[in-house]
Amino acid sequence: MSRRVFIKVVGFSDVERHALNTVFRLSEERDTAYTLWAPEAPTKPELALLDGLTYEARLEAESPANRKLSIVWVGDDAPANTWRVFQRPIVWTEVVQAMDQLFAPADLDFDLEIGGSDEAPDNGPDTQPSQLEEPGKRALIASPDLNDRLYYRAKLALARMPIADEAETAAQALELLRSNAYQVALVDFALPGGAGWAFVRQLKAGDHPVPHVIVTMADASLPERFRAKLAGATALFPKPPDPEKLGEALDRV
């Protein structure tokens, strides 16, 4: 029988919330599903996920009403009653793996599109900060659409690449590229000023060439796939990209 666990969430930015909501939606496919708690929920929350940057989080952690709640704290100066502590940038898969220690069956395998070789390492005592992204795993998101950028951030976080810079135009992307080295770039082919496949070639050249460039476009036809290969793109996906195939491409990165 499946189990639903309600989580009280306090604080966090819109981007972090979007990534967390994506992880919660993916958990619906498992025997243990995590859901954002609200006052109208049928049961009380069983865990509190608190943003240490907010005053409200401190109040929640110290409230007598929450004494029976397990607390996951993000940030410094964690309260004494905190169960687990994580630091930013947040890798939500590691947070969920910690939650699974409390709520999920011992034999449950929840990889969130992460390959088996990418399981989070043992971080020792519960209060130790999580070891996050690998060195060099920085991403560039180049898209004029805010919703697309938020979605790509969530997918990158699930693939253990939580550090990402955003650009709404080709000029902004190239400016970021002058001062940063990126492991992967997610590029909307309709990026303003992008000049099509010439822009992809620009990302692959220069002082900081991007090893992996993943492109999305409205007409991902066979001729366009051939042009993508000539330009050096790692993958070409239609818009919107298939979530599973995009996840697999990021896993390979």
Residues with Cβ within 8 Å of residue 107, at least 6 apart in sequence = none
Tell me the domains of the chain and their CATH numbers. 3-118 (3.40.50.2300), 138-252 (3.40.50.2300)
pLDDT attached to residue 185:
95
For the chain, 253 residues long, the average pLDDT of each consecutive 10-residue run is 88 88 80 90 94 93 87 92 90 83 60 34 37 62 90 84 90 92 94 88 89 90 86 90 88 84
In order of 10, 52, 67, 192, the CA distances from 81 in angstroms are 16, 14, 8, 50
Contact 36, 24 (CB under 8 A): yes
Tell me how far apart the alpha carbons of residues 216 and 79 are, in angstroms, rounded to a whole number: 44
Nearest CA to 154 out of 74, 34, 48, 247 is that of: 247
pLDDT digits (tens, 9 = 90+) for 13-51: 988 888 888 888 878 877 888 999 999 999 999 999 999
Q: What is the C-alpha to C-alpha distance for residues 195 and 238, in angstroms, rounded to an integer?
A: 18
